[in-house]
Structure 1
């Protein structure tokens, strides 16, 4: 990709292919979601720096898949092709992308093997509830099902503004502007809570089972496993799918621990980065060394 006279950089599609030799599949898929999404991590501090939202995607899942299908002579290209099969457009946040990555990837890539998904689809048009919105947007819906997840992160409810306004009132209770600011902050938080409740019931009336998920589910050991178990149960009950194989993998401690360490390494906070999680075949750990994209040892 030419960016100036005499200066060229890898296109997003080529970068995805090249990084397959250096990143674990979870990391690679999360990066792909960012490329095809509407957010961008901070270049100087991608883990704890500010995130930019509402951006134009750099590329699309279709373009990356087409590129890696035709590319030759790139180390790790076979893995890039496999991971690209799980790409989806329209990721809105880093946490959403990480959740999506582990839900869809195969177990030997530390995923839950639930297959393809759709990010932020607009669904539920024509909801019959009086006063309902024309449509709603769940964060993640598993392809071919009516089941998904809504993730509410730390910033979902602006409690920091509410606390600051309350402190200001406490410091200067006679200031009218402080009282007004506190009332506005309270109304904003309450409005968001009410909208969440209405969203959930409108989605339910439209035939969707969308499970709520919070930040703590990502940071607590076993939290993501519990969400995956709930999602598997919901898909089996509502969509009549047999996910017994995926359910069996939930009980494998080494796999769960490796997945948790990998996810934690990609989340904000003071965590180890670029962790070594070993190699898995059929969900069982077979090698303590770090993951390497050599085709001869990749088993799906």
Structure 2
């Protein structure tokens, strides 16, 4: 791969490929997911990587979105290079040299940016997660972040990459999310890509996070619930059976004409237990919304499915989540082996688990990220 990462001449002009790295890459990745005019495309071949010179900077900055941050000596642009010789020595650029093995599709091209003879790439999901893990090592070292909080933040990013929502590029913790976007990868694809990354700091933690992520979340709140119901007890999880996540249900044939919807897609569903869990952070005071909730409840009941509903109040604290987990466990217990409820209770009471859930909440839920757009799908 490395032999292809050199400048080439096409026609009479140089075609420059610029590969953003680190936080700048993640910013543009999130921006492209939230903007209809931008498109992320897997790179079929490795980007061409000539040495970036100071004279190239105006064109590069001009091609980036207008709300991209200010670039200067104190706030350099983060770029990737693929050899020490090609690494730019410019005060307004900080270069990350990538020398290890990389998987296919290691970079994504951002289409829709203005830039003549200039193509801009961002890091793909495997490198994005790996470099986030490497960056989180510094706040851990400075004791600004605990190892557990850093890992949950990494899990949060993995869930976002594999989910149908995207955090705000400039203010991911408190800004509004983009809803209904295409997942960048599946959990399996993320794990396979990370298995081929070598020689990069952070890859070990990235692989750990990818091995625990549940794909398909439609909101940060769903990611939080997925983790609470699947992570090991040492990380604040409970031993629930495997669930389907945002997958459409098939109604039984003998109830045609009784249901208001042709199909439903609950946030979480246990088919062997006929139990569904839906999260809705919005308060439905409008008459139409109340009636719609009533019809959904009727449809589930008609099909013999027990529906549990959770709202933002159920995720506001470790104690609130624990109460919700006990309610879900009671519904699942009828189809589980004897002692299931005792196992759940032991996990909930495990020393340190309540603190882990509080940390999970702090890293997963931006205060302004409500789920009015991410309601369970139905038609």
Contact 2:272 2:335 in 1 (8 A): no
Contact 2:224 2:360 in 1 (8 A): no
As a proportion of its length, which structure holds more helix?
A: 1
Contact 2:246 2:266 in 1 (8 A): yes
Which residue of structure 1 aligns with residue 219 of structure 2? 93
CA separation of 1:124 and 1:203: change in aligned 2, threshold 3 A: farther
Q: Displacement, 1:86?
A: 3.4
* The structure with more radius of gyration: 2
Secondary structure in structure 1 of the residue aligned to 2:181 = coil
Task: For 1:34-53, list aligned pairs within 5 A.
Answer: 34-53=160-179
Unaligned runs of 5+ in 1: 160-188, 271-300
CA separation of 1:193 and 1:80: change in aligned 2, threshold 3 A: same
For the pair 1:118 / 2:244, whether they are aligned, the reply is: yes
Contact 2:187 2:215 in 1 (8 A): yes
Secondary structure in structure 1 of the residue aligned to 2:344 = helix
Secondary structure in structure 2 of the residue aligned to 1:24 = helix
Q: Displacement, 1:214?
A: 0.9
Contact 1:26 1:101 in 2 (8 A): no
Which residue of structure 1 aligns with residue 23 of structure 2? none
Divergent runs of 4+, >6 A = none
Q: Deviations over 1:226-261 (max 9, x none)?
A: 111112222221354753333212123632133123
Q: Report how many residues are paired.
A: 239
Q: Displacement, 1:50?
A: 1.6
Q: Displacement, 1:48?
A: 2.3
Question: Which one of the candidate residues 155, 176, 196 is aligned to 1:29?
Answer: 155
CA separation of 1:40 and 1:249: change in aligned 2, threshold 3 A: same
Which residue of structure 1 aligns with residue 265 of structure 2? 137
Task: For 1:155-170, list aligned pairs within 5 A.
Answer: 157=284
Which residue of structure 1 aligns with residue 109 of structure 2? 3
Q: Displacement, 1:28?
A: 2.5
Secondary structure in structure 1 of the residue aligned to 2:307 = strand
Q: Displacement, 1:36?
A: 1.7
Q: Deviations over 1:102-154 (max 9, x none)?
A: 22111222222436433211114246162431111111125765334211103
CA separation of 1:126 and 1:239: change in aligned 2, threshold 3 A: same
For the pair 1:208 / 2:208, whether they are aligned, the reply is: no
Q: Displacement, 1:24?
A: 3.5
Contact 2:239 2:344 in 1 (8 A): yes
- The RMSD of aligned alpha carbons is 2.8
For the pair 1:250 / 2:250, whether they are aligned, the reply is: no
Which residue of structure 1 aligns with residue 360 of structure 2? 262
Question: TM-score normalized by structure 1?
Answer: 0.68
Q: Deviations over 1:42-96 (max 9, x none)?
A: 1112232122112122222221021223433444544433432333333211211
Distance in 1 of aligned mates of 2:365 and 2:202: 25
Contact 1:153 1:215 in 2 (8 A): yes
Q: Displacement, 1:265?
A: 4.1
Distance in 1 of aligned mates of 2:288 and 2:131: 45
CA separation of 1:240 and 1:209: change in aligned 2, threshold 3 A: farther
